[in-house]
A and B are shown apart, each in its own frame.
Chain A
Amino acid sequence: MRFFEYEAREIVKRAGIPVTDFGFTTDAAEARTIAERIGGPTVIKSQVLTGGRMKAGGVKFADTPEQAEAHAADILELEINGHMPRGVLVDPKADVKQEYYAGVVWDGTAKKPVILFSDMGGIDIEEVAEQHPDHVGRVHISNLLPISDYQAKECIAQTGVTGRALQRLTPIVRSLAQLFVDNDMVLAEINPLCEMKDGTFVALDAHMDMESEARGRHKGLLKDLGVGDDETRLAREPTDFELAGEEVDGADHRGVAGNVTEFDGNIGLVIGAGGGSLTLFDAVRAHGGEPANYCEIGGNPSVHKACGLAKLVLTKPGVDKIAVMMSIVSNTRVDIVARGVIKACLELGFDPAEKIAIFRIPGAWEEEGFKILEKYGIEYADRSVSMHEAARRAVVKITGPDAVAAAAEAGS
């Protein structure tokens, strides 16, 4: 879960790392008050969870409090990459002598956090790593042993930084590593970490991303920052369709109807589970089909849940038919899912044989499931029909054979 810059800076501040005297507000008039308090030139920064703020005009410099207010008013109205800002951050304009980078991320291969440091701050660290590898220091930290100053020092020293800067930077970098661990972050980054003309070291911008699975362990911090339990902070805001999907999933505790995601095609998908859904979604597209949605059913959902999900997909504008497909199931039951999707059709006043283009779920309780499908005249397939073939049949039935032929042509 990503944090806005003003929240990330607050987290950095709580870890004892010096920050500027910034202020956050959702109100242009208050931006002026903050600028007056700061007293001097300021920077007004849009608070959005997306990159490219600078280019989009989301960062502006103000010489007076009046200007700060005017800029804040503009920026608060400015949409960036489809995101409206949460508010603006008003920051004293910094007198920077040298910019550094400090970050901590997970290294999935070493299975440990790695501290990254560069004396080339202010730009993208991946770019620095590619073009100036000798300007990036790397030190892994143990998951079991306490973090120690020397690890931060080694990391910084790898880039050739020495003298007073090394001494002043060491505790800051160590504190950053500590806050990464203490707050279950998956990314903790200060960029730039600045040495000012007056010789002080300050975190000028910060990026923080907390692991969603660990949110429950940091309720206090999230409450202090005003982050609501329902804020997903995903790459984009959930649509009404997706919220309705969450509601279906939350309606009872049995099984999962997860990750319901809206797309703008016409092929309704009731698919599962994790890997199966990824495979099937690709397969539909490979055959020239355009999915109306993505989802993952699994964990043996109730008839009610399967029914709710199928209804949601069937009533999505532009959807005429659904394809019900999964990889071989061993926990989820074929007969229960069959009942759910048929029930959805019946309750909506549709003929299941008409609305369910294909049902391909082999596995647990398939004998009973196939009996049900037979009775309603639904086209179904067992494990001898591959997931890709089932997806192809769905596209033929829903979009038409031309789409499949065109896709085959393009693919060959």
Chain B
Amino acid sequence: MRTDGIFIGIEVDDEALASEPRLAGHLSQVCPVDIYSEPSDGELEIVQRNVDECVLCRLCLEIAHLEVGENAVRVIKIYDGGAALE
């Protein structure tokens, strides 16, 4: 799934989400600006109105990397020609 704001886009690999049921919960815990939320049914939701608040802290990338593997989550800097946060 992918959700874009004006400056930032967030992309989470659907297969990765399916393969690791804890990922959704952990993403919602680490993000300091509440971009990820996990409604009661365990589905991940990317909160549209918070996407542009992303502080580029990489915490979501790190947790996804640890639990699933590289590129399970991508933070895209739309203002920087679509470059992904490394």
Contacts and interface: CB of A to CB of B under 8 A. Distances in A.
A contacts B directly in the complex (CB < 8 Å)? Answer: yes
Query: Does more than half of chain A's interface fall in helix, strand or loop, or is it mixed?
Result: helix
Nearest to A372: B79
Contact of B55 (A304, A336, A372): A336
A368 B7 CA distance: 11
Nearest to A304: B53
A303 B55 CA distance: 10
A333 B55 contact: yes
A302 B55 CA distance: 9
Nearest to A373: B79
Contacts of A339: 6-7, 52
B79 A371 contact: yes
A336 B4 CA distance: 16
A215 B52 CA distance: 37
Nearest to B83: A371
Nearest to B33: A302
Interface residues of A, number: 14
Interface residues of B, number: 10
A200 to B, nearest CB: 65
B18 interface: no
A368 B52 contact: no
Interface in B48-74: 52-53, 55-56
Contacts of B77: 368, 371
Interface in A364-407: 368, 371-372, 375
B45 to A, nearest CB: 19
A343 B8 CA distance: 12
B41 interface: no
Contacts of B56: 335, 368
Contacts of B6: 339, 342-343, 346
A315 to B, nearest CB: 19
Interface in A167-199: none
B54 to A, nearest CB: 9
Contact of A375 (B33, B55, B79): B79
B80 interface: yes
B8 to A, nearest CB: 8
A335 B52 CA distance: 11
A303 B53 contact: yes
Which of A302, A303, A304, A342 gathers most chain B CB within 10 Å? A303
Contacts of A336: 53, 55
A343 B7 CA distance: 9
Interface of A: 302-304, 333, 335-336, 339, 342-343, 346, 368, 371-372, 375
For the complex of A and B, the 5 pairs showing the least CB-CB separation, nearest first, are A372-B79, A375-B79, A339-B7, A303-B53, A303-B52
13 contacts: A302-B33, A302-B53, A303-B52, A303-B53, A304-B53, A335-B56, A336-B55, A339-B52, A342-B7, A343-B52, A368-B77, A375-B79, A375-B80
Given A303-B53, A372-B7, 8 more contacts: A304-B53, A339-B7, A339-B52, A342-B6, A343-B6, A343-B52, A346-B6, A368-B56
